Structure 1
């Protein structure tokens, strides 16, 4: 077993986003020559795959990874099955604190791994944390957009966009930009009041940050929330429609690309939220 632990001066959810950032993973794992398996997007999600190359040729029997976990706690790249073993299983564990984030990367070599593969894994344990730190430092300067996962009775509230035309009909979480002088929690409460005509209470964070390319680059940051008055009825003040959705129906909605990257965290939020 090979282990590296580094400290990164950034919030844990920003580091967690960088840890699952597809281009950053490809750069950090360059010694193993990975290729993403379509349809991998900007951030890796559970079920995504990576295939390792050797001499320019794909060798999926020997070198395939499947993303088994990708959230605010870290990343797990593991074999797709007992009969298809990659050179190693890689696990990233993240712990946030006042001084930033502790990131531990563990490689567990598979059977029959040779010296060359072990050397490549050592390169990954040096290169990947450095790549995560680099993109994290870049993202930390971005303005934050908050998103509210409002849960009640085992359901999550989604809203359907009316505009602009390229987003019309798509579904998203309520939220918006953090204005000058606001905390992120205050921004979330204000946005929910403006968009849904309801007051919410913040229950905590959920999911990793999500990089947004619009307007020069922003970070979407999710918060778990509940209605202050559970008898209140959210209405689409600025949107086409709102809908309460259960965990099993979440994939049926046409989510905007950014929000789609939080689907697994939405499911987890429904599973862990108080009923």
Structure 2
């Protein structure tokens, strides 16, 4: 079987932690990675503090195949992601000539001020993530992909960088509505999970259309045969549960 490729996400920004800005990137990145065969294993959110960013980045990049960061690459004083990444990798950081040239085409004279030039500072050895529609670039250095916090820009950056990422066997999934409460199926579901160790079985409670507690059961596996076998066992368990209710 192909190598399992893993990832972590590092969300950077005081505005996320304060609740002022609602994160819209984690879910998008998680679904994107799942669709290309990369397992998201961890998400961390840190403040605009260089020491905290470096510590979190070091922990994630040494544990997972890739780390995706969002936020902190804009023009203001608290946009310190690029500096923090450079420190984490022990490299210098400077204005990238290609980015500066693009900025000079966009902004003339005094409009190309020090604040805007901050967005042209890229760690040494990093590969730019940019296109004709992305003025201020993200970048990739080793296994770390640094992207904007603005969702539309981040999504465009994901499209640019994803063809260059290695991926594993895609995780398959199938869902069935249990028409039962979690507590009713917890025991038999555990037995099924133990009998099918190469699958991941999750239960997700919700309130149904009549505001009664219900549960969705999700089975995941990279092997379609193992997925089918576990899902068959789950469905048989639910049929048996319904039959027992009717006879009670």
Common fold by TM > 0.5: no
Q: Which has the higher strand share?
A: 1
Q: Which has the higher helix share?
A: 2
- Length-normalised TM-score, structure 2: 0.25
Greater Rg over alpha carbons, structure:
2
- Length-normalised TM-score, structure 1: 0.23
